[in-house]
Chain A
């Protein structure tokens, strides 16, 4: 469960969003500039709200009144960015293993195999990120985030940098993740079709405000 009630001023723009989501995939929908990325960055702890609270699974990670701000690295979240942000000095296998090492988790070969198979990245393990296509990079980024065993996975327009063909290539993987990976997700997009396929709940943002909230039907 994700509970968000935050205010943030960024120059001229002001964001004031409040929602509680129990869904497996919460879709954050809105035009560019609606505040979607700022909201996700606040959930990740990369951006600090001016006022408000954020709780992940009942665990308060931000509470400005109580002076609580849990740093990003202790939030146990996974984050897939629009640009995959793979570490260029590490090969794919090392990128995938990074979160496990940083969190001091034990090796889990079964989980590793499951995710590598789910995303079809077994053939890429000894390649460097520079030698991957955009779609491959994004699949590795998904695997890297999942293997850090997050309690919430944030995806900020993960298909945004891909052309139509590549999008269609990745979407089925995301559907499989939703159904099999058992990690709740927040999925940011301005693409109605994408969210119809993936989201179970929609938070609609317009100019920094939540304008509707509910099932996928609010998109129509």
Chain B
């Protein structure tokens, strides 16, 4: 195993950028949705729940193709965003971030939802009797107590985003320096006659990143338990 080449570095840094942006943008939506699913009953809740989990069970190539149809230059949303806001997703790194965000969303929402469900609602009631309006209850009691779960969701979402392949390559292709993430770089390298060594290095980096994320998520989960017991 020799040194990491500049081309590999480009793929690694792009993967990190795509995954960080995808996670950060998805997080507020994830928290809002986790709270709705954990705390509110409304018409169509099970449909929303199913839609959130869809990217988990759908073939990634289908999710990528649907993203292409929707957010491509001629897509319904993509056309509007490109014409009026100048935001282009197709064949750009932003599109890779969108694909990774969508694919990571179910994993990101789940720990957040579980940690909100685990909070004793009687604490929220107590906050209300002390004069806290519902939004204040959320920010002073619910969110702080759910914080380890929120962070665990972000870590898991990040891990998923950094390894995403199928939806990304379908939606934004495999352009070095623009949309070629670690996964698509590995895919290209193993199809190249002497790409094995380079592929091997990227494989090891993938494993390290994924393991690191899982260990971090586990650590946050333990923190959550300690926090709920008031220690």
Binding site for B on A (CB under 8 A): 44, 46, 71-74, 76-79, 81, 83, 85-89, 98-99, 102-103, 128-131, 144-145, 148, 154
Identify which of B131, B229, B230 contacts A102 (C-beta below 8 A). Answer: B131
Q: Please tell me if the beta carbons of B122 and A148 are within 8 angstroms of each other in the complex.
A: no
CA of A83 to CA of B123 in the docked complex: distance in angstroms?
Answer: 10
Contact of B127 among A71, A102, A128 (CB under 8 A): A102
Whether B126 and A81, one on each chain, are in contact in the complex, defined by CB atoms closer than 8 angstroms, is yes
In the complex, what's the smallest C-beta–C-beta distance from B48 to chain A, in angstroms? Answer: 27
Chain A binder among B9-17, B138-146, B153-161, B210-218: B138-146
Which of B123, B128, B227 is in CB contact (< 8 Å) with A73?
B128
**B125 and A46 contacting across the interface, CB-CB below 8 Å:** yes
**Cβ of B57 under 8 Å from chain A:** no
Which of B128, B130, B231 lies in contact with A128, CB distance below 8 A? B231
CB of A102 within 8 A of CB of B231, answer no
A130 touches B129 (CB 8 A): no
Once the chains are docked, how many angstroms separate the CA of A102 from the CA of B133?
8
Could you tell me if B127 and A81 are in contact, using CB atoms closer than 8 angstroms? no
Give the one of A87, A131, A154 with max B CB within 10 A: A87
B228 on interface, CB distance cutoff 8 Å: yes
Q: Which residue of B lies closest to A129 (CB)?
A: B230
Whether the pair A102, B132 counts as a contact (CB closer than 8 A) is yes
Residue of A81, A83, A86, A98 contacting most chain B CB atoms (<10 Å): A98
Counting contact residues on chain B (CB < 8 A from A), the size range is: 20 to 34
Sampled A-B contacts (25; CB under 8 Å): A46-B129, A71-B128, A71-B133, A73-B128, A74-B131, A76-B131, A77-B129, A83-B122, A85-B123, A86-B230, A87-B126, A88-B123, A88-B227, A88-B228, A98-B140, A99-B130, A102-B127, A102-B130, A102-B133, A102-B136, A103-B131, A129-B230, A145-B129, A148-B130, A148-B131
Residue pair A89, B145 in contact (C-beta under 8 Å): yes
Whose C-beta in chain A lies nearest to the C-beta of B125?
Answer: A46
CB contacts (< 8 Å) of A71 on chain B: these are 128, 133
Please give, as numbers and ranges, the residues of chain B lying within 8 Å of A72 by CB-CB distance.
Answer: 125, 128-129
Report chain B residues within 8 Å CB of A129: 230
Q: Within the complex, what minimum Cβ distance (angstroms) separates B56 from chain A?
A: 31
**B130 with A130: CB separation less than 8 A:** no
Residues of chain A with a CB closer than 8 A to B144's CB? 89
**Is the pair A81, B122 in contact by a Cβ cutoff of 8 Å?**
yes
| Minimum Cβ distance to chain B for residue A40 (Å) | 11
Contact B129 A79 (CB under 8 A): yes
Restricting to B137-185, which residues have a CB under 8 Å from any CB of A? 140-141, 144-145
A85 touching B128 in the complex, CB below 8 Å, given contacts A73-B133, A131-B231? no
Task: Point out the residues of chain A lying under 8 angstroms from B141, CB to CB.
Answer: 87
CA A156 – CA B226 in complex, angstroms? Answer: 28
Known A76-B131, A128-B230, A145-B130; 4 more pairs at CB < 8 Å: A46-B129, A71-B128, A89-B227, A102-B136
Contacts of A88 in B (CB 8 A): 123, 145, 227-230
**Which of B122, B126, B141 gathers the greatest number of chain A CB atoms within 10 Å?**
B126
Find chain A residues with CB under 8 A from B140 CB.
98, 102
Measured CA separation A72–B140 after assembly (Å): 17
Given contacts A102-B132, A128-B230, A130-B229, contact A87 B122 (CB under 8 A): no
- Give chain A residues whose Cβ lies under 8 Å from the Cβ of B136: 73, 102
Bound complex: CA A94 to CA B130 (Å): 13
CA distance A128 to B145 in the complex (A): 14
CB distance from A115 to the nearest CB of B (A): 14
**B98 → chain A closest CB, angstroms:** 34
B94 CB to closest chain A CB, in angstroms?
A: 37
B residues in contact with A86, CB < 8 Å: 230
A98 — which chain B residues lie within 8 A by C-beta?
127, 130, 132, 140
